[in-house]
Amino acid sequence: MKTLLLSSLVSIVGALMVSAEPNSGLILWYQQPAKSAMNEALPIGNGRLGGVVFGGGERERIRFNEDSLWTGDDNPSGDDNTMGAYQAFGDLILSFDTSPEAAAPPVQNYRRQLDLPMATARTEFTRNGVRYVREAFASHPAQVIVVRWSADKPGAITGHVELKGAHGEQTTMDGSTLSFRGTLSNGMKYEAQARVLTRGGTTDGGGFKACDEVVVLLAAGTDYAMDYAKGYRGALRPLTFPTQSYDELRAEHVKDFQSLFNRVTLDLGPSDNSLPTDKRKLQPDPGLATLLFQYGRYLLISCSRPGGLPANLQGLWNDSNTPPWHSDYHSNINVEMNYWPAEVANLAECHLPFFDLVRSQLPAWRTVSDAKRGFAIRTSHNITGGMGWKWDKPANAWYCQHFWEHFAFGQDTNYLRDVAYPIIKETVEYWEDYLKALPDGRLVVPDGWSPEHGPDEDGVSYDQQIVWDLFSNYIDAANVLGVDKEYRDKIAGMRDKLVGPHIGRWGQLQEWMTDRDDPNDHHRHTSHLFAVFPGRQITIAKTPELARAAKVSLDARGIDPSSDVREWSFAWRTALYARLHDGESAYRMLQQLLSDRNTCPNLLGLHPPMQMDGNFGITAGMAEMLVQSHEGEINLLPALPAAWPIGRVTGLRARGGFTVALQWKDGKLVEATIHSSAGQPCRLRYGSRTEEIPIRQNQSITWRP
């Protein structure tokens, strides 16, 4: 192999950041309105404010949320009752007015859809010979949900708008603005307002008659502040409405959204979107996999933007005041999986809310740490320092992995020095104090757990692997910054003493120190495979025997429908098989996720009930099938399945500050274009062949086998 072209950054702009053919065909569509908020309605969001759009004809309902509306308090002691839950905010409803004595005319030629690149939900239908269109989007620049109701004949819209709170609030009217306020049991204040704007016709409060067009602007907020010192409270968020026209608001919204979404394009082959999505998913084509990949990116942009809170179990779209698992942050894989695609799928900014939340919770979490330094957390927590069920102490190290990965991909040393390194070091200090020495001098995590599986005991593989990952990331961080050499060397020595992965009696990677894994155990968690993904302790190139043992364990877990394997399980297994360079098994896991058992008609994950982690995880897993960079090199098409013989991708990121575009045909790489933002050494791998590529900062190379 050899380098064929070395070019400047200018040449890469078109190839990497803007597809020659913009993302197209990325539309979910249906022939009937949604009946269920979580399983069928279509999600929109601006990071902080979102909703699910039902798409009704006679009556449109948007169940809306704001990311900080939580019950519970800052009690970190592990009481589920004080931890509270993420709450639904309310409903915005737009309805036709029909005289009581007359039956509503039938709705015909119906279609509802969610256009991912435009980040807009749309409902179209014919009623009494008039074609009606309702569009809804959540604008990040304007910080409102915008709904427009239009018709192809003037004066055809007669109806009303309702604004209903989810906690029994009294709605008031002031001119054309509906509003409600409330206070939760924990003292949190909140407010929502909907402003009704019409063109043509007459209006009376929330009602309108013979209008050409109706636009509704919805704003909502709370008095939450991401600040422990202020008790996580501040001033009630002021609600303001933009003054732009609908077209201006929509253009501004699309430009903002696409500045993130259009960074990555993917084409996996033939796509047939002629069937509605709920039917298409029963006979998936390569284009549906593309849609699912980009749906994960759409959802992350929609529920995790800088300045807001991170994605929880239901993302932003919980519809209940008593949601399953509190719609909380689960630290034993779920919230981490939410952010697996953030770096590799070119949405690094969407990672920031997770870091901000963790940093804001540290003062509360430190108060219940059982060590003199650092912090520990339980399996579930809220947004005000409170925690719920069961200690998951290595989760502090797993959280730190995200801080490190943000640097590994982006190479921002200021961020590493000022944000990531202090938290990583503090967590290392916690484990320096907490680890237990065995008689032979090896180190183990005492009284640990393999989520959510098995008894509590010493040296559980999940615990050992995560602490190894933490120590390795700390060592690398200290090396980059050139600091704390003496302490760095001490931690390197401790890492070498950690009890490491073992191969058991039937060739499996052991889940516990003792060799007692059951080959007939089909548990949903694969916690002992953390070292394969998202960790880097076990790799095909560096630890082939352990990699083979990991595959034995993974194969044994199985996909038996009678077992409790969940939607997120298949997302994780997609990534695991990809890391083990088994593209066919990775693809099989993807197909399992698309089944009715594991995804809802709206393609959201079905645990059951709906939760979001599988949607995010599968995007990351598919990216791992195409590009990997955890072994110190950029591995191209390491797990390409036969089902994707031809395709291309642009905009995926690799560790070291690289962005990657690939084209392949007949299952073989045609060319790869690599852009460097940091000027780090670049080593490429394709199959068994490797090559060192000279590449300067802000330049690119195109490489052909």
CA neighbours closer than 13 Å in the CB half-sphere of residue 17: 12
Higher pLDDT, 372 or 406: 406
Q: Tell me, yes or no, whether 150 and 219 share the same domain.
A: yes
Q: State residue 539's pLDDT score.
A: 97
Q: Tell me, yes or no, whether 10 and 31 share the same domain.
A: no
Q: Which long-range contacts (CB under 8 A, 24 or more apart) does 560-567 make?
A: 560/522, 561/597, 563/522, 563/523, 563/524, 564/522, 564/523, 564/524, 565/522, 565/524, 566/524, 566/598, 566/607, 566/614, 567/593, 567/598, 567/599, 567/605, 567/606, 567/607, 567/611, 567/613, 567/614
User: What mean pLDDT do residues 257-267 have?
Assistant: 98
- Structure-token match 């569009």, residue found: 135
> Among 507, 499, 517, which residue's Cα sits nearest to residue 450?
517
Q: Tell me, yes or no, whether 92 and 8 share the same domain.
A: no
Q: Tell me, yes or no, whether 9 and 60 share the same domain.
A: no
pLDDT grade, residue 77 (50/70/90)?
Answer: low
Asked if the structure places residue 559 within a domain, the reply is no
Domain end among 252, 278, 304: 278
| Candidate from 45-59, 400-414, 511-525 with smallest mean pLDDT | 511-525
Q: Tell me, yes or no, whether 7 and 151 share the same domain.
A: no
- Percent of the chain with pLDDT strictly greater than 90: 86
Asked if the structure places residue 376 within a domain, the reply is no
Q: Tell me, yes or no, whether 59 and 11 share the same domain.
A: no
Neighbour order of strands in the sheet with 207-211: 42-45, 49-53, 59-66, 90-96, 157-165, 207-211, 202-204
- Between CA 636 and CA 616 the distance in angstroms is 22
Domain end among 278, 299, 333: 278
pLDDT at 564 over 90: no
Q: Tell me, yes or no, whether 140 and 10 share the same domain.
A: no
Asked if the structure places residue 444 within a domain, the reply is no
The number of distinct structural domains making up the chain is 2
User: What mean pLDDT do residues 474-502 have?
Assistant: 98
User: What mean pLDDT do residues 457-474 have?
Assistant: 97
CATH of the domain at 232: 2.70.98.50
pLDDT tens column, 609-632: 889 999 999 999 999 999 999 999
| Candidate from 28-42, 98-112, 129-143, 669-683 with smallest mean pLDDT | 98-112
Q: Tell me, yes or no, whether 143 and 65 share the same domain.
A: yes
pLDDT tens column, 93-150: 999 997 666 678 899 999 999 999 999 999 999 999 999 999 999 999 999 999 999 9
pLDDT tens column, 276-322: 999 998 888 899 999 999 999 999 999 999 999 999 999 899 999 99
Q: Look up the domain containing 657 and give its range.
A: 2-15+647-704
